Amino acid sequence: MFDQFGPEKILQVYDPKLNVKGILVIDNTALGPGKGGIRMTPSVTIEEVCNLARTMTWKNAMADIPFGGAKAGIVFDDRTINQKQKDRIITAFAKGIKPLCPSQYIAGPDMNTAEHEMEAFAKVNGYDSCTGKPKIMGGLPHELGSTGWGVFHAAKISAKHAGINLENSSVAIEGFGNVGQFAAKFLSEAGTKLVGVSDSKGTAYLAEGFDYDKLIKTKSEQKTVIAYHKSKILKTNDIIALDADILVTAAIPNLITRENVGNIKARIIVEGSNIPVSHEIEKHLYKNKKIIVPDFIANAGGVISSYVEYVHGNEKQMFEMVKEKVSKNTELVLRESEKIKTDPRTTALKIAQKRILKNTRS
């Protein structure tokens, strides 16, 4: 699908020696070079990469940073190779798209790629051709917690919008990976009671609230949150039905469905994960007086961190910028949504599109 926003370029590269195909979609560069990660899966398609690139267009525009939208995919199962072979594939892909880096495309980590792969990519295309590089190279890896920090501030602003004091509120967090763990950390430090948390093994519920340090220790040693002492064990997806003021999604897509949407008790839903619910169901939640912070606003901490790395900023500057931009854009979208009586995602898309079109015309 092509429209007034893009995609501008769809490039396919193939290395006959390695028998590996790569895809690069540069969706829109009105605000700056296209920014988006490289995922490596055996099933990635052009359609998937196009959709992800468009999501990055909206996310970067809404984050108010000078990046456009892009995404890349390498069609390969990395579980069948060692790191040295994986580096060869990344290097081959980097060479194939070298003329576009970094003037039109800036890479980053995504599914099955991380800081090591970004190091290999940078060695071919230059330091500024990618973000998410190892800390030793001056990178700001997502392991610092930038996305979770942004999710925390999205929750803080939405709670204020709802007239809820974080210190007297409760939260349930779906997923206890990088995003969920840091969101739990920052919310706990702010005094919010963490009453529920889930992982692939199930949901742990504790009405009096979890001790964050003990929860981290349990997850590290027992490999699951449901091993937490005295917690009530439920099914993984039951996390959305817990009695909490705030629900943070931080793991799987399509978590909230037509079948379970009626079970949500939380007044606020902060989308730390990508596409945890369809737009149609978001509209239903909005009509039922739920406050929703869409994914491309709530989890923008990662791309904002990428921008700070791109301009050679440091860790402190990253945390400051994530706080400032996520807070400002969450406030803007919720206030505007209330004003024009439209759900937050529709409102945010209008703001993002306006920013892009304004720059396209100028």
DSSP single-letter state for residue 223: S
Q: How many domains does the chain have?
A: 2
C-alpha–C-alpha distance, residues 32 and 37, integer Å: 16
Residues 148-191: pLDDT tens digits?
999 999 999 999 999 999 999 999 999 999 999 999 999 999 99
Q: In terms of Cα–Cα distance, which of 61, 81, 83, 79 is closest to 70?
A: 61
Among 139, 167, 191, residue at a domain's last position: 139
Asked if 295 and 276 count as a contact pair (C-beta separation under 8 A), the reply is yes
C-alpha–C-alpha distance, residues 256 and 199, integer Å: 16
Annotated catalytic residue 71: yes
The answer to whether residue 64 is domain-embedded is no
Q: In the predicted model, is pLDDT for residue 313 greater than 80?
A: yes
Quick one: pLDDT band at residue 5, thresholds 50, 70, 90? very high
> Is it true that the peptide bond before 99 is cis, omega within 30 degrees of 0?
no
Strands 246-249 and 170-174, how do they pair? parallel
Tell me which H or E stretch contains 105: strand 105-106
Among 139, 162, 180, residue at a domain's last position: 139
Residues 61-73: pLDDT tens digits?
999 999 999 999 9
Q: What is the pLDDT of residue 215?
A: 98
C-alpha–C-alpha distance, residues 165 and 359, integer Å: 38
Do 197 and 287 lie in a common domain?
A: yes
The pTM for the full model equals 0.92
Do 158 and 101 lie in a common domain?
A: no
Do 114 and 211 lie in a common domain?
A: no
CATH of the domain at 306: 3.40.50.720
Local structure of 193: helix, strand or coil = strand
CATH of the domain at 83: 3.40.50.10860
C-alpha–C-alpha distance, residues 136 and 174, integer Å: 32
Beta-carbon count within 10 A of 125 CB: 22
Q: What is the pLDDT of residue 141?
A: 82
Q: In the predicted model, is pLDDT for residue 212 greater than 90?
A: yes
Do 75 and 101 lie in a common domain?
A: yes
Asked if 231 and 239 count as a contact pair (C-beta separation under 8 A), the reply is no
Do 297 and 346 lie in a common domain?
A: yes
CA 230 to chain centre: 32
Averaged pLDDT score across all residues of the chain: 96
C-alpha–C-alpha distance, residues 15 and 48, integer Å: 21
Q: In the predicted model, is pLDDT for residue 142 greater than 90?
A: no
Q: How many CA atoms lie within 13 A of 288 on its CB side?
A: 15
C-alpha–C-alpha distance, residues 218 and 208, integer Å: 17
Residue 210 corresponds to which tokens in the numbers above?
């979890």
- Mean pLDDT across 26-46: 97
- Mean pLDDT across 80-103: 97
Signed CA dihedral, 115, 274, 350, 331: sign only: negative
Q: In terms of Cα–Cα distance, which of 59, 85, 108 is closest to 345?
A: 59
- Helix, strand, coil shares of the chain as percentages rounded to 5? 50, 20, 30
Asked if 152 and 183 count as a contact pair (C-beta separation under 8 A), the reply is yes
Residues 246-301: pLDDT tens digits?
999 999 989 999 999 999 999 999 999 989 999 999 999 999 999 999 999 999 99
- Mean pLDDT across 198-214: 97
Instruction: Provide the domain limits for residue 287.
Output: 146-355
Quick one: pLDDT band at residue 1, thresholds 50, 70, 90? confident
Q: What is the pLDDT of residue 361?
A: 58
The answer to whether residue 271 is domain-embedded is yes
Largest pairwise CA distance in the chain: 61
Catalytic residue among 35, 59, 71, 290: 71
Among 82, 109, 139, residue at a domain's last position: 139
Asked if 361 and 99 count as a contact pair (C-beta separation under 8 A), the reply is no
Q: What is the pLDDT of residue 143?
A: 80
Tell me which residue has tokens 């398609």.
Answer: 45
Residue 232 corresponds to which tokens in the numbers above?
């009530």
Q: What is the pLDDT of residue 14?
A: 97
